[in-house]
């Protein structure tokens, strides 16, 4: 969980998720850093922040302390202006002490601290590649992940039911996050967290964010929840069954089994699952409210109404002809909006407040729909009914930027060119679509880009 969700939402266009890394294990589609909610950029998949990779000067390459490769002339130059890792540790120690970390903790924690060049390489080489929503969902809610989720739920039913009662978070949702973050505990990560975070804090690219996380990790050590050797996780600092970043751990982790430690690392997932529920509860989860439900739109639907900021009750949507896939009005779950993650050619969802709560874990639509749909399937629900436009591929980062440039050039300003399909770009697309007599679904497709190319 990153619980530090920081939002590097990248190009999560309505439809496609940009992954920074190949989804090795975790299915978390995004790296976030920065703010309060950080979702960790943990291992697995991260959405690369296009802007953070472009726009920013290339980081100076630091001296490499391990003898894995030759030192280049540029690096030698850099060494004259950048502190060495050991020097950085000495200075960091001062800052950590000023932040309240005791000498005893620092002695224990920094003793075996190592610079991990591979971690920094991974963080720097987040090449953008895009995966479509439907490809993501095929994996997020694969038959195996659904079956494993049902088994995990059955095996840990007592804990999950007790967690549901205490935090008011549906057990299937907690199980689904567990399934996407670590394949139900199978891949919790074995990277030494302190060394990983120190390496990333030493690297100038995102040093402020990672130093905050490193100090958070030291506070956890100081609290006695875990020992230094036990504190392992994914390369970018996410830990345990549900991949908490240190600051999120400090804000939300709980000792559910009452042994005196908040232990999200061990084989017993109870504390980790309860911590996840506590996190969602903290952001306002409403029990028994769906994240969203698939809906059918009527002929002649006003596509401008498919907008996150347009909220109506299911009854009011029903009067406009928006019904569930069974043809009946959607039951009342509070006000919802209509989301078309693949435009008019794919599935439509009516989404509720819980959708935004899941976004605190990860802001990518694909992740939220992935968690929600996996939870529905674990609970026995059926697959998404509508067909996806599987012939479409996701736009690359360059193509998204080109789309923005061309829209702006055609008089439909995207308020900047950053490769992210956000509200301004969606509005610009709708404007262009209306002018061209197309369905104004705001969807950034390859067909649209080709049309703009003329
Ligand atoms: Ca415990």
Query: In the prediction, which pLDDT does 58 show?
Result: 32
User: For residue 70, what pLDDT band results from cuts at 50, 70 and 90?
Assistant: low
> For position 3, what pLDDT does the model report?
42
Task: Tell me, in angstroms, the distance from the centre of ligand 1 to residue 259's CA.
Answer: 5
Q: Crossing angle, helix 423-435 and helix 397-409, to 10 degrees?
A: 60
**How many angstroms is it from 263 CA to the middle of ligand 1?**
5
pLDDT the model gives residue 447:
94
Give the dihedral sign, CA 242/43/113/84. negative
Beta strands in 40-157 (DSSP E): 129-132
CA of 148 relative to ligand 1 center, distance in Å: 24
Task: Give the percent of the chain with pLDDT over 70.
Answer: 81
Residue 15's Cβ-count burial label (10 Å; 0-12, 13-18, 19+) is buried
Q: Mapping DSSP to helix (H, G, I), strand (E, B) and coil, where does residue 296 land?
A: strand
72: exposed, middle or buried (C-beta count within 10 Å: 0-12, 13-18, 19+)? exposed
Cβ proximity of 416 and 424 under 8 Å? yes
Cα of 36 vs centre of ligand 1, distance in Å, is 25
Has residue 63 got a pLDDT over 60? Answer: no
Distance 272 CA to ligand 1 centre (A): 9
Among residues 233, 363, 267, 373, the alpha carbon closest in space to that of 308 is found at 363
- Which parts of 56-176 are beta strand (E)? 129-132
227 CA distance to ligand 1 middle (Å): 14
- Predicted confidence (pLDDT) per residue in 162-209, tens digit: 999 999 999 999 999 999 999 999 999 999 999 999 999 999 999 999
Instruction: Please tell me the predicted confidence (pLDDT) of residue 350.
Output: 98
Mean pLDDT of 122-143: 87
Using the mean position of ligand 1's atoms as its centre, give its distance from the Cα of residue 434 in Å. 57
- On whether the CB atoms of residues 246 and 221 are closer than 8 A, the answer is no
Q: Tokens 């309860």 identify what position?
A: 274
- Across all residues in the chain, what is the average pLDDT? 86
Cα(266) to centroid(ligand 1), Å: 10
State the pLDDT confidence band at 27, using cuts at 50, 70 and 90.
low
| Res 82: pLDDT | 75
φ and ψ at 232, to 5 degrees? -120, 170
Separation CA 263–CA 267 (nearest Å): 9
Rounded Cα distance, 383 and 260, in Å: 42
Mean pLDDT computed over 77-85 = 71
* Chain-centre distance for alpha carbon 380: 25
Torsion of CA 356, 360, 366, 372, to 10 degrees: -60
The Å distance, Cα 331 to ligand 1 centre, comes to 39
Q: How far is the CA of 217 from the centre of ligand 1 (A)?
A: 17
Ligand 1 midpoint to CA 199 (Å): 29
- Contact (CB, 8 A) for 361 and 29: no
Give residue 249 CA to ligand 1 midpoint distance, Å: 13
What is residue 374's predicted lDDT score, i.e. its pLDDT? Answer: 98
**pLDDT tops 50 at residue 23:** no
What is the structure's pLDDT at 79?
57
pLDDT over threshold 60, residue 242: yes
**Sorting pLDDT into bands at 50, 70 and 90, what band is 65?**
very low
Q: What is the pLDDT of residues 270-287, one digit of tens each?
A: 999 999 999 999 999 999
Q: Which residues contact 110 (CB under 8 A, 6 or more apart)?
A: 89, 93, 194
């Amino acid at each position: 969980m990153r619980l530090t969700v920081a939002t590097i939402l990248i190009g999560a266009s309505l439809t496609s998720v940009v992954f920074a890394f190949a989804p090795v294990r975790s299915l978390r589609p995004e790296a976030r850093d920065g703010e309060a909610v950080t979702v960790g950029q943990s291992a697995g998949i991260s959405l690369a922040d296009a802007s953070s990779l472009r726009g920013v000067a290339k980081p100076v390459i630091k001296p490499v302390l391990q003898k894995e490769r030759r030192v280049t002339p540029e690096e030698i130059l850099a060494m004259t202006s950048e502190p060495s890792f050991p020097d950085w540790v000495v200075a960091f120690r001062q800052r950590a002490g000023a932040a309240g970390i005791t000498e005893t903790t620092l002695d224990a924690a920094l003793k075996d601290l190592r610079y991990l060049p591979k971690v920094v390489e991974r963080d720097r080489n987040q090449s953008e590649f895009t995966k479509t929503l439907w490809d993501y969902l095929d994996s997020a809610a694969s038959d195996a992940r659904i079956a494993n989720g049902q088994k995990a739920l059955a095996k840990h039913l007592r804990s999950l039911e007790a967690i549901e009662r205490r935090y008011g978070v549906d057990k299937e949702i907690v199980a689904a996050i567990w399934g996407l973050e670590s394949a139900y505990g199978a891949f919790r990560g074995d990277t030494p967290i302190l060394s990983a975070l120190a390496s990333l804090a030493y690297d100038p690219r995102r040093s402020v964010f990672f130093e905050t996380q490193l100090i958070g990790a030291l506070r956890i050590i100081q609290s006695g929840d875990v020992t230094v050797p036990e504190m392992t996780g994914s390369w970018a600092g996410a830990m345990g069954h549900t991949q908490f970043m240190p600051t999120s751990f400090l804000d939300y982790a709980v000792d559910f089994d009452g042994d005196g430690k908040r232990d999200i690392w061990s084989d017993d997932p109870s504390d980790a699952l309860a911590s996840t529920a506590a996190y969602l509860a903290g952001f306002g989860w409403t029990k028994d409210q769906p994240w969203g439900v698939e809906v059918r739109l009527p002929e002649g639907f006003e596509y401008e109404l498919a907008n996150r900021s347009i909220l109506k009750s299911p009854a009011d949507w029903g009067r406009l002809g928006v019904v569930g896939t069974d043809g009946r009005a959607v039951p009342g779950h509070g006000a919802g909006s209509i989301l078309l993650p693949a435009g008019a050619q794919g599935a439509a969802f009516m989404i509720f407040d819980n959708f935004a709560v899941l976004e605190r874990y990860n802001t990518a639509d694909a992740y939220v729909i992935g968690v929600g749909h996996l939870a529905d399937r674990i609970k026995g629900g059926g697959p998404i009914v509508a067909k996806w436009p599987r012939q479409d591929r996701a736009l690359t980062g360059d193509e998204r930027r080109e789309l923005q440039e061309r829209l702006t050039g055609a008089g439909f300003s995207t308020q900047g060119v950053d490769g992210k399909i956000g509200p301004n770009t969606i509005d610009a697309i709708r404007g262009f679509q209306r002018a061209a007599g197309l369905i104004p679904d705001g969807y950034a497709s390859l067909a649209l880009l080709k049309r703009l190319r003329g």
